[in-house]
Amino acid sequence: MTTKIGILSDTHMIRRDPPFQQAVDLCFADASVILHAGDLTDISILDAFRGKEVHAVHGNMCHASSRNSLPEKKVVRIDGFSIGLIHGMGYRHHVEDFLLREFPDVDCIVSGHTHRPVCRHLYDILFINPGSFMGSGRYGAPGTYALLETGTALTGRILDVPQFR
């Protein structure tokens, strides 16, 4: 069995707008599961993923509605793989070591916060930071997201969010 998982973080929105919904619909059309690694800001942003299995954690910039409704971290199990999900904050160096302390026995760790996309294996664990879905570059850098696929192994990749504004 193969499952396609859409991963995003750092949307920093208080309400959905049409360009955001268009980007979500296009980027995650084939994903049956969504992982949001925090800083969604307002919990209503998750309504954009109706019809999909959604797992989310809160981040340091989330409103009270999100902090009170979402955990700081969680482990999600999909097709026999365990995936740690956390926003992460307060670290600048040795990010992977911090994440490994939070999730010592998982196959993949998904985090956010830095707005820097990462998809790499280290210590036999796949580390994914999808970057900022809404873009965060001073010079108009596009947003980024990740797609993760289960199978005999987990495979992930980082992609640019199409511009609709």
Query: Where in 16-113 does DSSP place strands (E)?
Result: 33-36, 53-56, 73-78, 81-86, 108-110
Q: Alpha-carbon torsion 137, 86, 52, 121, what sign? A: positive
Which fold would CATH assign to domain 4-160?
Answer: Purple Acid Phosphatase; chain A, domain 2 (3.60.21)
pLDDT tens digits, one per residue of 128-155: 999 999 876 666 678 999 999 999 999 9
User: Residue 14, Cα to own-chain centre: how many angstroms?
Assistant: 17
Number of neighbours of residue 14 by Cβ within 10 angstroms? 11
Where residue 66 falls among pLDDT bands split at 50, 70, 90? Answer: confident
Please state the domain extents for the chain: 4-160
pLDDT tens digits, one per residue of 80-111: 999 999 998 766 667 888 899 999 999 999 99
Please state the φ and ψ torsions of residue 106, each to the nearest 5 degrees.
Answer: -125, 165
**Average pLDDT for 21-37:** 97
Which candidate, 73, 147, 145, 70, places its Cα nearest to that of 115? Answer: 145
Distant-in-sequence, close-in-space partners of 145: CB < 8 Å, separation ≥ 6: 6, 7, 8, 27, 28, 130, 131, 133, 158, 159, 161
pLDDT above 60: residue 9: yes
Number of neighbours of residue 2 by Cβ within 10 angstroms? 9
Where residue 59 falls among pLDDT bands split at 50, 70, 90? Answer: confident
Number of neighbours of residue 29 by Cβ within 10 angstroms? 9
Strand order in the sheet with 108-110: 73-78, 81-86, 108-110, 125-129, 118-122
